[in-house]
A and B are shown apart, each in its own frame.
Chain A
Amino acid sequence: MLSSKLSKLLIYFGTLLHASQALAMQCDEGQRFEHSFASGASWTFCAALDEHHALELQQLHYQAPGDISRRVLQHLHLGQTLVHYHDEPKANVLIGENKLGGQSLKILNDQICDGELHNVGNTMPTLCSFVRDSGLLAKYNLRPGLHGQQYQLFSVSEYQGLTLQVQIGLSEDGRIAPSVTLSGQATSTTTDARFGTALLNPITNEPMIGTQATVLYTWRMAFAMNDDEQNDTVEEFNFKLEPSLGNRRPMIVTNLTTEALRDTNRNVFRGWRVKDINGSGYYLDPLNSGFGFSDNSNNWAQFDVALTAFNKCERHSRIGPLSSAANKPAQCKGSLDDFVNGESLLNRHPVIWYSMSRVFRPKAEDYPVISSMQTEFEIIPFDWTPTSPFEVIK
């Protein structure tokens, strides 16, 4: 009885401590945001617009209904974007050799932003936040369906006529959904049909071949769950079919203790979990992935996932002259190939770099403006709460 009361007291003080941490959160960069849903779920974070990679969330805290506010991520932002026009030998590097922030950020207005505009360190609005309905969050038989919402933030960057909407969705149920939406103007044409698509210019009606392009987005997720204690760990899940065991699929969970470059494997449903010392965590299930991005100039780009120990200057998967200048060039060189150098992940904040690629195949609908092509993934709470936090909701 006494121990029960004591543990309740400890939980109470722990709750107060964490809640006070979230309330007291100061932003080193950017602006503090907080959004609460009607269910009681809420997100608290700092949003900044970085000169190189545009939108970045820092100190991202999630509070499930009935739970305390707890930090999930210390940093979440694009770590690189490669755009490879198929008739060229090399990909264009958008972060490092170019910039998605600074002058590349577009000024937003009410017509673009169906929500709230924010300046965040700029004199003009360059960040938009809005809430959208995300459909049925849960439904069971005749119980009334529970509808969910998602709070979204985005900035828009421009590169050679292309627009990249860098967006992060924060769902009521704790899901975090980063995405990039490609649109803007497709200006590249080719004379070789192997690298493009035959089209009619909608303005001149003349034949042309629109150049196909493969785009790679790499996201950097620096985890720091709960507090600054460096005790988060990373696990890899594999579920390999074993014909010798009667087509069973044993779950193999491996602790990853050193930096590594990893591939998704759709046949074994490979996924990764980062968890804190109490077993609460988030899971990266690479459902929207599978096509590799081989590249003669970027060895690291062939890997879907990289795990590194947190290093302040390793912000971009390939550090170019522009981004290195901002990051003390003596310390910050190279690419993920160099960052993954056998360092231990133990007692360090783990960083997951996750890459996805899409192929842009031009069509009439992409002229004069590309029909939006969104590339999104999710990390989801995995044992973050002991049960569904929505059970009490009617």
Chain B
Amino acid sequence: MKWTHCFVLCLFVLLSSLSKEAFAQATSQCSGEASINETFSNGARWEMCWESRIRENLVLSDVHYTPPNGIRKRILSSARLSQLHVAYDDSDVTYNDVTQYGLGGGYRVNLAPADCPNGDLLYEQTRPAICRWRSKGQDNYRTASRSVSAESLTLFSVSQVGAYAYIVTWKFFSDGAIEPQIGATGALQRSSDKTELPFGRVLKGDNETLWLSHTHNYYWRLDFDLGLSAADDVVTESRTQLLQNGQRQTKVERFTTEQARVIDSDSPVSWEIWDNLSGDTPGANDSGYRIEPIRYGHRLERKEKEPYTEFDFFVTVANECERFASQNARFNPDCLNHVAQFVNDESLIDADISLWHRVSFHHVPRNEDQRHMHTHWDGFAIEPVNIHKSTPGIDLANNRAPVLVAIEDKLNPVGLLIDWQLVANDADGDSIRYAAKNLPDGLSITDSGHVTGTLTQVGSFDVSIAYSDEIAKSEDTFTWSVQEANQVKTGKSGFLGAAGAWLVIIFLPLVLLRLLLRLCAKL
């Protein structure tokens, strides 16, 4: 073989051995200020590109997550707020702020350092466009003796549309979770001088103005591209219902065509998007993300006028032409106009998929809203499902299991008072929790391993002691014999008795023999 052939072959083998994930890691669709790369203290990493568009303002793309000690994975090809629909209670006039005005361009507020006191400002050309804020989030997990707080990366931009200021926010957590949020602040927008009308409230200090109640409907568009291929993602819906016998059954439906779904208060629901599926329904080896609607207390529906308001969640085939949840044709004249129309029975199989989720908030004016409102936040959670092999933040591989100090079999009399502390050692210094099965009657154990009580029942008990550092669990067994008080003594004497019997067995014939010999001698 010529050396050049060998070199080519070796190169081929080398390239083949590199995972496609690793190859993907080398690619990035942005650089410099437009690129965000955040590594957390647990080793997890988020990478993405951002841009500020005239309509949507903050749009994230090419979003990758690397779990702690895991492999980098593509999560989203893009994510953005796709409409901000506002309906006032006094009329059927609605506003579609993203398409009518836009959240970017001149509507985007140049942030000042005071807006971002704990973070850094990122610039688009010369304008400070977004705040990047790293913080400690809520607890990632908690056991009785330890807790870990997930860190988070917060990105936000502020858009001033009329009197309202919208804080378009994305949070990325070190445990792989994502939270899109929007904060509405600024000032109340619309009012009426007809204070007798029942469509708003007259606020303190201004008896001649009725501030109108209204609903904000936020629509997010999420273009998931999990893993290597954009065309193999699968969406399922999990719905739980109470059965007559009191159990609750969850049915999982795999979507094969585009969908528009409604949250039903009688059956808790979540939606999952999977990086392909190994079977017809999700299994232990499938991984993806779950959208759990946790802010669903308000719902604006005016389906005769705006058919898309009937639904809370949409699954569509990704189409660049389908950009806004409503008034889409305004900027894409050759395309359909709203997200309910995008759902037109296209197959989701082998298709790139977009998810759309709506959250509503009905705002009743209160005195505290004048002159400037406190932010009211809305959003939802996107959580990883089987993206990690176990709880992120717990190092299973390097955890050392506790070791119980050996317990010998026990023999005690009934009625004995027991006060016994189990002892196990843990090389990592973790707290240890204990449990026991089949303890003799009258005894109990605390989770700190303190066995107390009085033995009340004669018997032989095969006791099992489970002990755990809350990660690794071990079990030891021993036999605990409880006998009548006198039997325990008898037991000892019984042992002596048995020895006595042996003495009798061995020596009695000798004694008898001696007596016989004496008798014979006398005779």
Contact = CB atoms under 8 A, between A and B. Distances in A.
B144 A158 contact: yes
Interface in B273-303: 282-285, 287, 290, 294-299, 301-302
A33 interface: no
Which one of A137, A249, A250, A294 has the highest number of Cβ atoms from chain B below 10 Å of its Cβ?
A249
Contact of B185 (A90, A139, A357, A381): A139
Contacts of A185: 143, 470
Contacts of A158: 144, 447
A291 B242 CA distance: 12
B246 A296 contact: yes
B295 to A, nearest CB: 6
A371 B240 contact: no
A388 B167 CA distance: 19
A248 B282 CA distance: 44
Which one of A237, A250, A290 has the highest number of Cβ atoms from chain B below 10 Å of its Cβ?
A290
B115 A139 contact: yes
A116 to B, nearest CB: 16
A239 B143 contact: no
Contacts of A289: 296-297
A291 B251 CA distance: 16
B334 interface: no
Interface string B97-118: 0000000000001111011111
Contact of A290 (B114, B265, B361, B364): B265
B108 to A, nearest CB: 11
B229 to A, nearest CB: 22
A361 B270 CA distance: 9
A111 B372 contact: no
B371 A388 contact: yes
Interface in A177-204: 181, 183-185, 194-195, 198-200, 202-203
A387 B89 contact: no
Interface stretch (B391-399, B411-419, B502-510): B391-399
Interface stretch (A3-11, A94-102, A280-288): A280-288
A384 B110 contact: no
A90 B285 contact: no
Interface string A93-124: 00000000001001000011010000000000
B408 interface: no
Nearest to A111: B146
A369 B143 contact: yes
Nearest to A196: B250
Interface stretch (A219-227, A266-274, A307-315): A266-274
B143 A287 contact: no
Nearest to A88: B247
Nearest to B299: A266
Nearest to B263: A290
B27 interface: no
Contacts of A390: 372, 374
A165 to B, nearest CB: 6
B293 to A, nearest CB: 8
Nearest to B177: A371
B247 A184 contact: no
Interface string A67-91: 0000000000000000010111110
A295 B258 CA distance: 34
- Indicate the size class of the contact surface on chain B: 35 or more
A133 B187 CA distance: 23
Contacts of A183: 139, 141-143, 147
A252 interface: yes
Given A212-B248, A388-B369, A139 B145 contact: no
A51 interface: no
Nearest to A253: B198
Interface stretch (A21-29, A140-148, A327-335): A140-148
A258 interface: no
B366 interface: yes
Interface residues of A, number: 102
B381 to A, nearest CB: 10
Nearest to B469: A368
Interface string B472-513: 110000000000000000000000000000000000000000
A386 B366 CA distance: 9
Interface in B448-481: 470-473
A186 to B, nearest CB: 10
Contact of B366 (A133, A241, A361, A382): A382
A388 B250 CA distance: 46
B109 A142 contact: yes
B77 interface: no
B185 A372 contact: no
Given A135-B183, A139-B165, A361-B270, A367 B118 contact: no
A198 B200 contact: no
Nearest to A246: B92
A100 to B, nearest CB: 13
A364 B392 CA distance: 9
B332 interface: no
Contact of A288 (B199, B213, B294, B447): B294
Contact of B362 (A103, A239, A358): A239
A365 B396 CA distance: 12
Interface string A244-272: 00111111100000000000101101010
Contacts of A250: 89, 198-199
Given A248-B90, A283-B366, A372-B140, A199 B470 contact: no
Given A136-B183, A294-B242, A364-B389, 15 more contacts: A90-B246, A114-B136, A136-B158, A138-B373, A139-B109, A140-B185, A207-B284, A247-B305, A264-B265, A286-B297, A359-B270, A361-B238, A368-B394, A384-B368, A391-B371
Interface of B: 89-92, 109-112, 114-118, 135-136, 138-147, 149, 154, 156, 158, 160, 165, 167, 169, 175-176, 183, 185-187, 198-201, 204-205, 213, 215, 238, 240, 242, 245-251, 263, 265-268, 270, 282-285, 287, 290, 294-299, 301-302, 304-305, 361-362, 364, 366-375, 378, 383-392, 394, 396, 446-447, 470-473
14 contacts: A136-B167, A141-B160, A165-B139, A212-B250, A248-B91, A252-B198, A286-B297, A291-B265, A358-B294, A364-B386, A365-B392, A367-B391, A386-B204, A386-B205
